[in-house]
Chains A and B, each alone.
Chain A
Amino acid sequence: DAGVIQSPRHEVTEMGQEVTLRCKPISGHDYLFWYRQTMMRGLELLIYFNNNVPIDDSGMPEDRFSAKMPNASFSTLKIQPSEPRDSAVYFCASSLTFAEQYFGPGTRLTVT
């Protein structure tokens, strides 16, 4: 397996634009997690899915953020409209039930 795949690896956009981050989990994993990492706040869980169903989105900062998982092999995290404070590295991770989480390489987002 190629591991967790994220795209794009880098994204630079202007304030107000829509940003879509993509993730392909490891095949067979039933959990998918979206994290955000910043220098100030460290690594924070935004939302996670179990069997494609959102379980806990309490970490999503505000209504500008939304996440979907239309099938077991694909998830998106969308920011609309984007703001400079959204600049961070966004990680996707997947796991089997109560097992170690495998992280993707991350998407570095810069909003100017």
Chain B
Amino acid sequence: DAGITQSPRYKITETGRQVTLMCHQTWSHSYMFWYRQDLGHGLRLIYYSAAADITDKGEVPDGYVVSRSKTENFPLTLESATRSQTSVYFCASTVVGATLWDPDTQYFGPGTRLTVL
């Protein structure tokens, strides 16, 4: 299926466990992003990637690790989950734009709801 997918859609884990959230896009978009959505904060950028093997920190990167060995995949790992990482996580992708990336064509995945007990 064309588009951007996330797995799992729902995940419950315990404090201290490692969790990996997967993101896959079929458009070969250069840019990919991870956001978290929390009440009272809107969406906040965790990490982003301009291309394979190029990643950079966003607004709230602490406690998260990303990698991008292939253009189409951008996994997000919580190395030791904490309760404060309970959130809804969205992956997004977009093409290169006039400056850096094109905000109008940033497509979001359906989200992963993560609960850390």
Q: Do A and B come from one complex?
A: no
A residues neighboring B (CB under 8 Å): none
B residues neighboring A (CB under 8 Å): none
